[in-house]
Amino acid sequence: MKKLSVLIALALAGQAGASTLADSRSVAMGGTGVASANYISASLHNPALAANHNSEDGFGMLLPTLAARIHDGDDMIDELEDFQDINDNLSSNPSEQELEQWRNALRKLDGNEVNAEATFGLVIAIPNSLVSTNFFTKANGISLGKTIVDEDDLDLDDPNFEDLNSFAQAIGGGTFDVGLSLAKSFETNGGTWQVGVSPKYQRLYSLNYKATVDSYEDDDFDIDDRLEKSGFNIDLGTAYHFDNGVSLGLAGRNLVSRELKTNISQGSQATFQVEPEFTAAAAFTGDWYQMAFDIDLNKRQYFKEYDYKLQYARLGAEVEAKWAQVRVGYAYSITSSGSDLFTAGFGFTPWGKFGLDLSGQVGKDDHYALSAQFIFTL
């Protein structure tokens, strides 16, 4: 098993919401965006912000935004690879020393977990004074992997001639959305109120692969075994921008609950679910900087049978100097499934017409994320 191919298989097997992945600017700013996204990236955070433009803003495109995250705090991938190397090289009628090395490698696998996530998005923004419109597509996938050791396997005298009960399993789920965001601004005394809606076609995907730890192969976690179904979903959002630079936002994503069973593998099955996600946010925008705070109002549970839940409180800041932007942030994990993340990135927008954004995140226990995107405006 090659580590890189495992990561790719996991990532391709996740919706922004309780995650910290959306567009690259947001990734660098701790995952914020519900009150601070620009009109181009609004569909990925809060549809109301599609109306958050001025008279100088024109047609814009996000082509594309890409992000990937891996959290392997138990070193599951390396430990599984090490065990399989030892198991493959175990001699016939092994010595007690060889057996103890084999057992130690197997013990290290017990209860290990890894998770990975990937996102992809495209947006075409058409701002106007009537109803601002964004056309968007986004794909998100998340995968969980685990290894469970059966105590009976540790008592084997010669594993060469026995079937192991210890297993490794990877489950994956994802969404593919195609839709449009419609947003409208209303001037009030002291500020601007914006409302938006994103009706969307949504396709769900699920995948499951389970095998004994000695026979597990990442190539068998095959996207061709996925199950899928289509339906409708909707995002809603609102934002209020005070004249003093303060903005407040509230977004609800995937307001229609949906779920999809995975394929059955070795008698095991899971249920990928898409549930409503709500986020509240605040931001302050100055002449050359912006600060933002987002908080998830509920937990995001991806698989019904697994107690893996994400919920974050996020902080972000951006400093702009003509054609360059520097961004930093921090994401605090409210649940034990995630980990706190430090985030950073930069943007380069020569002549203000096109831009490249790069960002990354890092947390304890081998938790990493990278993101990149291109933006074009007229």
Whether 311 and 18 have beta carbons less than 8 Å apart is answered as: yes
**What is the predicted pLDDT for the residue at 16?**
44
How high is the pLDDT of residue 246? 98
Q: Which residue has the tokens 């935004």?
A: 65
Q: Which tokens sit at 318?
A: 């951006």
pLDDT attached to residue 162: 85
Separation CA 317–CA 327 (nearest Å): 6
Looking at the chain, the number of H-run helices and the number of E-run strands are 4, 18
Q: What is the predicted pLDDT for the residue at 6? A: 45
Q: State how far the alpha carbon of 330 is from the alpha carbons of 14, 341, 366, in Å.
A: 21, 6, 16
pTM of the model as a whole: 0.90
Tokens of 218: 């990442």
Cis peptide before 159 (omega within 30 of 0): no
Structure confidence at residue 19 (pLDDT): 65
Looking at residue 53, what is its pLDDT? 94
Q: Which residues of the chain have pLDDT under 50?
A: 1-17
- CB count within 10 Å of CB 89 equals 11
pLDDT value at position 20?
A: 65
Handedness of CA 48, 300, 12, 24 (dihedral sign): positive
Predicted pLDDT at 18: 56
Helix, strand, coil fractions of the chain, as percent rounded to 5: 15, 50, 30
Give the per-residue pLDDT at 80: 94
